[in-house]
Amino acid sequence: MPLRISTEFVDHYRSSHPDCHLPLHQKLWLDPNRRAFDKEFEDEFDKKEWQGLVAADFSRFLNGELEKNADIATGDVEFVQWKVLTAQELRLVQDDVKGAF
């Protein structure tokens, strides 16, 4: 039997829903299909500024998890390295997304 998800459930988790409190850069990353019906969102997406912010978020998260769960000291050098690698991957994913539409 196929999985059925209610429209109400899906709508509630769209980045355009009033209850979505994610920062804009995370909305841009997680909801690229919104560009099809939201010109302002598309313009922000195309600026590509969100990629660096998402990469910084991920870098902070990763450093925090490594410090919490391991005997590995992490700091600014590791943060910059994670951010660079993450930003590169985000650019590749964005190219894949653009090619799919």
Average pLDDT of the chain is: 79
| Mean pLDDT to the nearest integer, 22-42 | 92
How do residues 50-67 score in pLDDT, each as one tens digit? 988 998 898 888 888 887
pLDDT at 4 over 50: yes
- The reported pTM is 0.66
Quickly state the pLDDT bin for 28 (edges 50, 70, 90): very high
pLDDT of residue 100: 53
- Residue owning tokens 């059925």: 4
pLDDT of residue 26: 93
Mean pLDDT, residues 37-47 taken together: 94
The percentage of the chain sitting over the pLDDT mark of 70, rounded to a whole number, equals 75
The residue-averaged pLDDT of 83-100 equals 72
Query: b or e along 68-96 (b: 16 or more beta carbons within 10 Å of the residue's beta carbon)?
Result: eeeeeebeeebeeebbeebbeebeeebee
